[in-house]
Chains A and B, each alone.
Chain A
Amino acid sequence: MTLSPIRDRSIQRAALAAILVAAAVGRGCLWRRESPQQTTVAAASDLQFALDDILGGFRRAHPSADIRVVYGSSGNFYTQIRGGAPFDLYLSADIEYPRRLAREGLAQPESLFTYAVGRIVVWVPAGSPLDLDRLGMGALEAPAVRHVAIANPEHAPYGRAAVAAMRSTGVYDRVAGKLVLGENVAQTLQFVESGAAEVGIVALSLALAPPVRGHGRYWEVPPDAYPEIDQGGAILAHARRSRLALDLRNYLASAAARTRLKQFGFLPPPERD
Chain B
Amino acid sequence: MDWQAIWLSVRLACCTTAILLLLGVPLAGWLAFSPRRWRFLVEAAVALPLVLPPTVLGFYVLLAIGPRSPVGALYAHFTGGVLPFSFQGLLIASVLYSLPFAVQPVAGAFQSVDRKLIEASWCLGVSRFATFRRVAVPLARPGIATGAILSFAHTMGEFGVVLMVGGNIAGVTRTVSISIYDQVQALRYDAALETSLFLLGFSFVVLALTYALQRRIWTAWPMS
A residues sitting closer than 8 Å to B (CB atoms) are 73, 75-76, 78-79, 146-147, 149, 152, 154-155, 179-183, 187, 190-191, 194-197
Contacts and interface: CB of A to CB of B under 8 A. Distances in A.
Interface residues of B, number: 22
B212 interface: no
B215 to A, nearest CB: 41
Nearest to A155: B185
B169 interface: yes
B124 interface: no
A160 to B, nearest CB: 11
B168 A196 contact: no
A154 B182 contact: yes
B67 interface: yes
Contacts of A194: 62-63, 66, 68, 84
B167 A149 contact: yes
B167 A191 contact: yes
B67 to A, nearest CB: 5
B185 A181 contact: no
A79 B167 contact: no
Interface string B160-174: 000111011100000
Given A147-B167, A180-B167, A195 B182 contact: no
B87 to A, nearest CB: 13
A260 to B, nearest CB: 29
A155 B168 contact: no
Contacts of B168: 152, 180-183
* Top 8 closest pairs, chain A to chain B, by CB: A180-B167, A155-B185, A181-B168, A196-B84, A195-B68, A75-B185, A196-B66, A155-B186
A155 B82 contact: no
A196 B85 CA distance: 8
A76 B62 CA distance: 25
Interface in B12-70: 59, 62-63, 66-68
B187 A152 contact: no
Given A154-B182, A180-B168, A181-B167, A75 B66 contact: no
Contact of B82 (A79, A146, A187): A146
B67 A195 contact: yes
Contacts of A183: 163, 168, 181
A197 B84 CA distance: 9
A187 B164 contact: yes
B62 to A, nearest CB: 5
A60 to B, nearest CB: 36
A73 B66 contact: no
A182 B165 CA distance: 10
B185 A180 contact: no
B62 A78 contact: no
Interface in B178-215: 181-182, 184-187
A79 B184 contact: yes
Contacts of B66: 194-196
Nearest to B63: A194
A147 B182 contact: no
Contacts of A146: 82
Contacts of B62: 190-191, 194, 196
Contacts of B182: 152, 154-155
Contacts of A182: 167-168
A149 B72 CA distance: 18
Contacts of B181: 183
Contacts of B82: 146-147, 196
